Structure 1
Amino acid sequence: MADNCCAAACGSTENLNRPEWRRALWIALFANGTMFLVEMVAGVVAGSRSLQADALDFFGDAANYAVSLGVAGMAIGWRARTALIKGMTIFGFALGVLGWAIWGLIAGSDPEPIAMSAVGALALLVNLSVAVMLFRFRSGDANMQSVWVCSRNDAINNVVVIGAGVAVMFTGSGLPDLLAAFIMAAIGLHGGWQIISQARRELGATRASA
């Protein structure tokens, strides 16, 4: 992922409001909203902390895609402010997942491994499709980068959930499920901070030019 926003993408609201970008966001919004419901129900039924954590991530991403649709045609300053809020939201969700995983260590965890792996595989298929669709938008401004970071992190999270399900199956322990939740929290913290840093740089550049 590029650390700096490309001049063409950052300087033109027309480019960021083009039909293919908005269409990709609508598809990503629908896919993430649907998977939030599927994973939350499956996570509760299976008793899996990592599935519930991933479901919350899907919810946060769906909200981020909705916000991105709303600011797609706005000036760079407004897009950067929105990206800053989204980065803080992702960071906050990651802290929540971290706390949930810590509570699991205290209260114990006994998840259903087959459900974890099966639902994780479905989520991976959805996220890979969305990530491939959004790949060409990954080097735009902070707002576009935040959308790509969401999709990339989700695909990584799903691989972690599937691996945790297999580990739970072979070890008979719920610790791999909790470990997966900790890994997902770390990925979210890193991704959120990455978006926040990029948005702050863009806001600084906007103030300097003003």
Structure 2
Amino acid sequence: MVPPLVLDIDGTLTDAEGHLDPRAFEVLPTWDAPVILATGKAFPYPVSLCHYLGLPQTVIAENGGVVLADGEVTYAGDREAAQAAADEFIARGGDLGWGDADTVNRWRDTEIAVNLDADEALLREVAAEFDLEVIDTGFAYHVKTRGVEKGVGLQHVCETLDYDPADFVAVGDSENDASTFGVAGRSFAVANADDVAKEAADTVLDQSYMDGTLSVLESLRENE
């Protein structure tokens, strides 16, 4: 029997350009155990991906701010505080960096994401004034409530579905995956991962992006 998986999306199921690797459609729908998608993206993104992959909709979105398990959606984090911090950041000359449409935040329920080109020092200064934290996922700065993490979301999913987090294998690439690595039984950082993720992972892979993830999944199928 293969183990259940908790997988990041960006940098883990994608290529270096951020495009979803088509091999995900080959391996994940046939995985004979639960697959949880855990991401910093807004809630609709992993739900949509589950739909197109043909997976049950079990997701951890917005770095643990939104969790969907067994048809139940739960929220953690203060979107109003994050929005207030974002407004203050803009008032002081900052720019969220997404343009007027801002599709990055339009469907975001519990946090605010800011483009990596933004003034990081100013953003962190303002966030601290609102008692919020900023994490750098390598794709955006996320302004969020302290203590809201993917790892907490994984614990919630496991409670809902009656699984042991220690049974899960986690793969990720970023600071926001470190909490997941601390909860899952086994954890792997792809070679393109940041230093925080590499330090937290049980194993740092030689391959990057989806190549690294596939190497883990192939090994799990061969050995279990």
- Using CA pairs under 8 Å that are at least 6 residues apart, name the structure with larger relative contact order, 1 or 2: 1
TM-score (structure 2 length as normaliser): 0.30
Judging by fraction of residues, say which structure has more strand.
2
Give the structure-1-normalised TM-score.
0.32
